[in-house]
Structure formats: C-alpha cells, structure tokens
Structure 1
C-alpha cells in the first residue's frame, strides 16, 4: 500500500471523527453557548485530555511503537506479545493508582490547576469538581486504548485505531440531542455529557482491544515488574510524554489564564475545534503512519528510503495544509457563522471566535510540520530533542500569553500558542538539518514555492469573494449561509488545485499513481513520484 493511501486511511477515519465533532460542538453551542456550564465542561474535560496526551498517546507513539516493532520483527509474535503484557501490567497499575489519587485531590487540583479563576464562583467551582471526578477515569481507558492502538499501528492496522475516537462524538451527540429535545437545563446537560465521556472511553478501549486480538496479539495482566524492556520504554517515554502532550499543556496554560474572563475558555475551545479538522486529517495521519514506516526503514539501514518518506510526507502535508491555513485566515467569520451561530451562540460571539480562529490559521502549518519532524527523532529512539523544543515552546507560550492577555484577551492567548508552535517546528527542522538526518530533495524544494504561491493567490481571491457574498451571509437563513460558504469552498478548491497543477506544484498523474500503488520495495526501486 502506498504512503498516501495509509495517510488516507487514518485521515479518513479522523475526518469522520472531526466532522462528528463539529456536529457535537454545534449542538453544544445551541445548548450551552459560551455560558458558565460550557466553561465548566470544557475546563473539566481538558484535564483528563492533558494526562491522556502525557501518559498515553505521546509516550506510546514515540516509545512503544519502535520497541514493539523491534520485538515483533526480531523475535516474532510471541516475544512482542510478552513485551506488550509486561508494559500493560505496569501501565494499568500506575494508572489505577494515579486515578485514585487524583479523585481524592480533585478540589485542590481544580482550584490550583484546572480553573483557578472559578474559585470566586462557588457554583462553577463545585460543578467543575464534580464533572472532573466523573471524567478523570476516561484517562485510564484512553491510555490503555492508546497502547492497543500502538500495537495495531505497528502491525499496519491503522484504520481500527483511527476509527475508535468516532464513538466519543457519537455518544455525546446522542446525549446532546436528547437534552435539546427534552429542554434540559444547562447544568444537567453538562452532567450527562460527563457520563457520556466515560462511557465512550470504555467503548473505545473495547474496540482497539478486540482489534489487537484479531491481529494476533493477546495482551493479559500479570504482576507488574520493571523488566529491562519496561525500563527501556520508560526511559524513552518520559521525554516523549512531555513532547506528545505539549499541545495540551499549551492549551491548559491558555485555559488557566482565560479563566479570568467569563466565556473566554469556550471561545478558545470553539475556535480550536475548527482548526483541529485539517490538523487531524493531515497532521495526525502523518504522525501515526510516518513513525512505524521510518522505524522500519532505519532499522533496515535504508537511509535513502527514510529520506524519501520524510520528503514525501512533508510535501503531502503542505499540499493540504497551506490552502486550509489561507482559508481559515480569510473567511473565518463565514465558517464560524455557519457552524455555530444559532441558539445561545450570538453574532457577537461569532465575531470573537472568528478573530481567534484566524490567528490559529497562521499557526496551522507549524503544528502539522511538528507532526512531520518529530517521527524522524522518535524512529531513531531519540526523544530528548523533541522534549527540549517542546519545553522551549511552553516557555514562549507562557511568556506571551501573560503579556498579551491583558490587552488582547482571547486573541493574545491564540497568538501565544501559534508563536510557540512555530518555535517548536523551526527548532526541530534546524536540528534535523544540522545532524544530517534529512535533506529536502529537489522535488520538494521545487514544489514548495509553487504551493505557497497557489495558496496565497487562493487566499486573496477568497478575501475578495467573501465581500461579494456578504449580503447572503447577512440574512438570517441558515441555508443561505451554507450555500454561500459552499460557493467559497468550491472556488478555493478549483483555484488552488488548478493553479498548483498549472505551475508545477502537483502532478495529477503522480497523484494517481500514488493512490494505485501497492506495497513497494526499497526506495531505489520506487519511481520518484510525489506521494509514493
């Protein structure tokens, strides 16, 4: 299977999750708006999400996948299964202890970490504590699920792991739909959603566990022991956990600062949800697929193949990310209006959220580039360098957020986050080039400026066209808003891809070959097509 088809498999499942996420956010905007219980739910849910990134996805994508692949390819399935059981036993025990401690300390954690700005409002504070206690066990479910997903990804069973998150949105959509139909009070809606999150965590864990069993890996629980294999995993996972969770860390920092203003947390969340769509489809797909592909190439000392994979992944990422960034920057009010403006979500809220979203659009390429560059280090079992730049980016984020929030409010927090993202991406690129781990090939260097030019022209055209369609967006009919946005989307697609093809930024014949190709040998036997 070609590299782009693997990206498409993960990206397609992620897109389904993101689209359902939009539906969930639209229902939530109608039910809660940017009111106090929206702030409460987002604040409570952010905390287990942070730990999920720190202890699960970041650590296992970076450390577990290369080690599992080494055991599986070196000694076979039984050795890989033994290694997985050792890791599962330690992980399960550690998570159970962490969950108990966090449940007992939740009031203190909410007051000092989750939302210190809620301390002056007893109702919001108590509700945040309750919801956090309900949802924190979600961390345990998702951490174990991330391990099972790592097994599936190592075995190139990408789709099952990618489709599992869809069920979180399915369950929450059902909860919100029932609540809106019944006219439920906002406080009860937030409570129902919290229980829905926990139920979704259990369901996702079941899905990937069944998937791993079908792939031939049976993981069981034994008395936890710190074997040499587990110690090696922990050595790699420590820095990787910090790195993998850095986006969530930056978001929590923004949340802590934003909790000083009513509605600010919700504004950032609504904007974040939109730009996470292209980031999820492109960035997450690349991060999931590229790591095991690079690890296999480097383990076989096929360095040319590794460099080819890196260049084609970057080219694929920029092909889709640059137009998304330009579109978000130029027509963010239209996007927000169609997706959210109804019920408790007013025109004033649209103006605030769209301003924050436009800023996030400037940072979208950086966040995708990070997903391209980090696997180059992880595949070499180097988790320290990504951790260093992640910590630097946190420092940048904190400094700028504290400096800009008093004057720019939510826009200041968004600006701090994208500055941190670009600091991280450029730092990783610099080290890759200095150490000689990767050199961009002629094809990438030739096509990058053409893609940039195509995206810039498309963005300018969208900016002018949005003025012509403003009269349609000005009326209160949803269908008129949707039709106008679809016109802009169609214009953007035709103009960008038409220009990119016309000036040599992309070749449709190479793209077709990339989708049709099956498993290939080393890179020297592979035609140098764009996305192979």
Structure 2
C-alpha cells in the first residue's frame, strides 16, 4: 500500500484510464468475437471471406490512416485548448473532416474496384468480381470511419472513454445480419451489416461528443492561422508520411496472400482477428490512457517526469506482451477451435489457422511496448522518431516476406514479427539512451 501511495499521480491516472478503457474494450471484443464465430460458421474459409476482407481492407485503408494521423496530431493540441479558442478550432476541424469524409467516400467508390481487381489478380475470377462489387457497396463506410475517428479524438482529448465500447457497433450489426439471413451464403449480409454498423457508430459518437463538449460546434473552413494550426502543420506532414508507410502493412499482407492462392487471405484473416483481440485489449487501452496524460504533462513542461513514466509503462507492456504471447502460443488450437470450428469451418481449417496464429503472436511484446513509446514521442512532438520506427519496420516486413516467401502464409505472419521487433528496437534506443536510475523508475518520481 505504501508503494502505491508513493506512485506519481500520473501513474494512477494512467492506470485508472487503462482499467476504464480495458473494461470497455473487453466488452466490445466479446461482441466482436461473437461476430467472428458467426462468420466462421456461415462462410468458413472461402472465396466470399477472401473477397469481403480484401474489399474491407481497401475501403478502410485511407480513413484509418487519416484517423491515426489525426489522433497523434490533434489530441495533444485539443487537450490544451478551452473556451472560445477551442470552439473556433473545432468548428474548423469540423469543416476539414466533413470534406475528408466526402472525398474518401467518392475516391473509394471509383478507385476501389480497379484496385481490388489488381490486388486479387491471382484469385478465382468469381472472387475477383465479388471483391470489386463489394468495394462499391462498402464505400460509404470510408466516410463514416473518417467522421467517427475525428469524433473519437475529440472525446479522447476530454478523457471520455465511453466511445470505446461503441467500436463494437459494426460487429454487432454484422452479427445480426448474418444470423437473420443465415439461409444464404452470399456476401450481402456482411456488406449490409458493415455499412449499417459504421453508420450507427458515427451517430452514437456524435451524441457522445455533443454531451462531452456541450456542442458539436459549427462548420467552417480552416484558416490555418491560429497557433494550434501552425503547431500542427509540421506534425501533419511527418505523421501523414508515417501512417502512409504504416498503412502499407495490410495491403502488403493482402497482396502477398492473394499471390499465394485461394483461401490464404481468409486463413490469415481469422488469425489476425484473434490477434486483434489481444492488441485491442493492450494497445488500445494503453494508447488511449497514456496520450492525454503525457500531453498534459508536456504542456506543463514536466518533461523528465513524463519520460520516466513512459519508460516504466513501456517495460510493463513488454512483460504483458510476453505473457499474452505465451498464452496464445500454448492455447492456439483450443482458441481457434472454440471460436470458429463449426458449420463451414472444419478441423483442417483449425489446424492451419492455429499454426499461423502461433507465429503471429510473437510480435505482441514488441507491439505493446512500442505503443507507449509512440504516445510519448507524439506528446513531445518528436514525430521523426515515430517515422523512423515505422520506416525501419516496413522495410523489415518487406524483406522478411521476400526472404521467406517459399514457406507461404507463414512468411506473412513472420513479417509482422519483424516489423514490430525492429520498430521496437529503434524506438527503445531513442527512448532509453538516457535511462534513469532504478529507484526513480520504481517510484515514478
């Protein structure tokens, strides 16, 4: 108890945020897991799932990148704004993100189908046609995700984490449509559930933001003259490059999987979904709990204190990642069997997915720890460090796939391990080269 009492207040703030976000993420992921069970039961490892996952990756690529950039760039700035200055800044952000939402929807509708046809070139002709059509159906989700990501960063800047639970809304709607239309093996239930789910999530977050900020504020075009815009200018450029590089990870995986033959995309997708349960419970929790705290500490010029706390939490998350990897490695077959093995998903599918899962889970310690380092670098506006981490990671990923291509799908899983391991090594070197003494690290003082 004395040790807890001696902890820095920011450690307690981060821990309480992690508990809150963790509970919400866990609840959301339970719904997500139920959706995955239903999809596996209905579709198994098939061309329909290949087409859907490919179309979803293309549709979400741009808005997810822009949302990630927004989170890192604007949360630290919104955390320090109040009153009329905040309201004016938000009204300009409203105009900017409304324009981005419209642009991303139109771009996805027209450019998505040919991109899907190109990436899926090695698949069955029916799967290629299905993927092209699915991108057009899913194009509204690009705009919904763009707006939802923006509303989420506004809520996070206020340390309002309830929106985390509603990330399960798309999964809930997909689950509902798949169950209600269980008599068909067509792709439509997946598409309808996805569009309806992301649309409903956007409306819910609009309501939450209205309450958190007392107003959604007006809509004006950015003038880029306020100090907050000027401070964000350089950061936007660096982080946009960073997220474009980082965002290449999923297309690289999908393109590589498509070149390896039918059903590789869906096999990889099932393994990725299980890993996503762990990454969301770890990375999402710690990122959303730490970034506002680190940002406020930087605003108050508590640089050394926050740096020390970032190192401590990075070490803690590395240990938690090792623990999560050990559990998944040893229980992979059981996990996959419990979640997916029913209906169209057979025992041989379980064996293949679980073997891929064992390789993929090895990146968790590096991933969890790197997330803390990225939040610290973002709060300090040392975004070139983040860009360096990503650049080295993506090069390691591509190199791993090229070197190990002959082992098939396992090369893709191993490439994710390389990506996060090399990113962690670079980030750790930059963050730990001035290590505090052990006593200070324990007490957080």
User: Please, what TM-score do these two structures have when normalized by structure 1?
Assistant: 0.76
Q: For residues 90 and 296 of structure 1, do their structure 2 counterparts lie closer, same or farther at Cα, with a shift above 3 Å needed?
A: same
Whole-Å separation in 2 of the counterparts to 1:275 and 1:94: 30
Cα-to-partner distance string for 1:102-123 (whole Å, 9 max, x where unaligned):
312233221234x3334xx332
* Residue in structure 2 matching 1:39, options 29, 40, 50: 50
Whole-Å separation in 2 of the counterparts to 1:444 and 1:53: 38
* Residue in structure 2 matching 1:59, options 63, 69, 75: 69
User: Does the Cα contact within 8 Å between 2:245 and 2:390 map onto a contact in 1?
Assistant: yes
The match for 1:155 is 158
Whole-Å separation in 2 of the counterparts to 1:216 and 1:98: 26
User: Does the Cα contact within 8 Å between 1:62 and 1:383 map onto a contact in 2?
Assistant: no
Q: For residues 93 and 221 of structure 1, do their structure 2 counterparts lie closer, same or farther at Cα, with a shift above 3 Å needed?
A: farther
1:272, CA displacement in angstroms? 1.0
Cα-to-partner distance string for 1:140-177 (whole Å, 9 max, x where unaligned):
1122111111111111112x221120111111111111
The match for 2:367 is 367
Q: For residues 234 and 178 of structure 1, do their structure 2 counterparts lie closer, same or farther at Cα, with a shift above 3 Å needed?
A: farther
User: Does the Cα contact within 8 Å between 1:254 and 1:401 map onto a contact in 2?
Assistant: no
Q: Give the CA RMSD over aligned residues.
A: 2.2
Matched, 1:90 2:96: yes
User: Does the Cα contact within 8 Å between 2:31 and 2:172 map onto a contact in 1?
Assistant: yes
Stretch moving more, 94-103 or 37-46: 94-103
* Residue in structure 1 matching 2:221, options 218, 221, 224: 224
User: Does the Cα contact within 8 Å between 2:311 and 2:432 map onto a contact in 1?
Assistant: no
1:348, CA displacement in angstroms? 1.2
Cα-to-partner distance string for 1:325-345 (whole Å, 9 max, x where unaligned):
111122211221121111211
User: Does the Cα contact within 8 Å between 2:117 and 2:129 map onto a contact in 1?
Assistant: no
* Residue in structure 1 matching 2:195, options 195, 198, 203: 198
User: Does the Cα contact within 8 Å between 1:152 and 1:212 map onto a contact in 2?
Assistant: yes
Whole-Å separation in 2 of the counterparts to 1:380 and 1:44: 37
Whole-Å separation in 2 of the counterparts to 1:195 and 1:97: 22
The match for 1:81 is 87
Whole-Å separation in 1 of the counterparts to 2:437 and 2:134: 50
Q: For residues 202 and 221 of structure 1, do their structure 2 counterparts lie closer, same or farther at Cα, with a shift above 3 Å needed?
A: farther
Q: For residues 223 and 245 of structure 1, do their structure 2 counterparts lie closer, same or farther at Cα, with a shift above 3 Å needed?
A: same
Unmatched runs of 5 consecutive residues or more in structure 2: 1-11
Cα-to-partner distance string for 1:246-293 (whole Å, 9 max, x where unaligned):
655212201101012111111111111112222111111111121110
**Helix, strand or coil at the partner of 2:343:** coil
User: Does the Cα contact within 8 Å between 2:108 and 2:142 map onto a contact in 1?
Assistant: no
Cα-to-partner distance string for 1:60-91 (whole Å, 9 max, x where unaligned):
22101011122x2xxx2221121111112022
Whole-Å separation in 1 of the counterparts to 2:399 and 2:33: 31
Q: For residues 304 and 364 of structure 1, do their structure 2 counterparts lie closer, same or farther at Cα, with a shift above 3 Å needed?
A: same
1:95, CA displacement in angstroms? 2.8
Q: For residues 340 and 444 of structure 1, do their structure 2 counterparts lie closer, same or farther at Cα, with a shift above 3 Å needed?
A: farther
Stretch moving more, 31-40 or 311-320: 311-320
The match for 2:122 is 117
The match for 1:30 is 41
* Residue in structure 1 matching 2:30, options 10, 13, 19: 19
1:319, CA displacement in angstroms? 4.6
User: Does the Cα contact within 8 Å between 1:116 and 1:256 map onto a contact in 2?
Assistant: no
The match for 1:469 is none
Whole-Å separation in 1 of the counterparts to 2:367 and 2:243: 12
* Residue in structure 1 matching 2:177, options 168, 172, 175: 175
Q: For residues 133 and 444 of structure 1, do their structure 2 counterparts lie closer, same or farther at Cα, with a shift above 3 Å needed?
A: farther
User: Does the Cα contact within 8 Å between 1:37 and 1:124 map onto a contact in 2?
Assistant: yes
Whole-Å separation in 1 of the counterparts to 2:173 and 2:439: 45
Equivalent pairs, count? 431
Whole-Å separation in 1 of the counterparts to 2:330 and 2:248: 28
The match for 2:7 is none
The match for 2:210 is 213
Matched, 1:347 2:347: yes
**Helix, strand or coil at the partner of 1:105:** helix
User: Please, what TM-score do these two structures have when normalized by structure 2?
Assistant: 0.91
**Helix, strand or coil at the partner of 1:116:** coil
User: Does the Cα contact within 8 Å between 1:257 and 1:402 map onto a contact in 2?
Assistant: no
User: Does the Cα contact within 8 Å between 2:60 and 2:142 map onto a contact in 1?
Assistant: yes
Whole-Å separation in 2 of the counterparts to 1:17 and 1:6: 16
The match for 1:524 is none
Stretch moving more, 131-140 or 215-224: 215-224
Whole-Å separation in 2 of the counterparts to 1:275 and 1:3: 24
User: Does the Cα contact within 8 Å between 1:172 and 1:193 map onto a contact in 2?
Assistant: yes
User: Does the Cα contact within 8 Å between 1:242 and 1:390 map onto a contact in 2?
Assistant: no
1:245, CA displacement in angstroms? 6.3
Unmatched runs of 5 consecutive residues or more in structure 1: 447-527
1:210, CA displacement in angstroms? 1.3
**Helix, strand or coil at the partner of 2:122:** helix
Spell out the pairing of 1:161-310 with structure 2 (5 A cutoff): 161-180=163-182, 183-184=183-184, 186-187=185-186, 190-228=187-225, 229-230=228-229, 232-244=231-243, 248-260=247-259, 261-310=261-310
Matched, 1:419 2:415: no
1:223, CA displacement in angstroms? 4.3
Cα-to-partner distance string for 1:182-213 (whole Å, 9 max, x where unaligned):
x21x22xx222112111111211112221121
Cα-to-partner distance string for 1:414-439 (whole Å, 9 max, x where unaligned):
001111111111111111234x4xx3
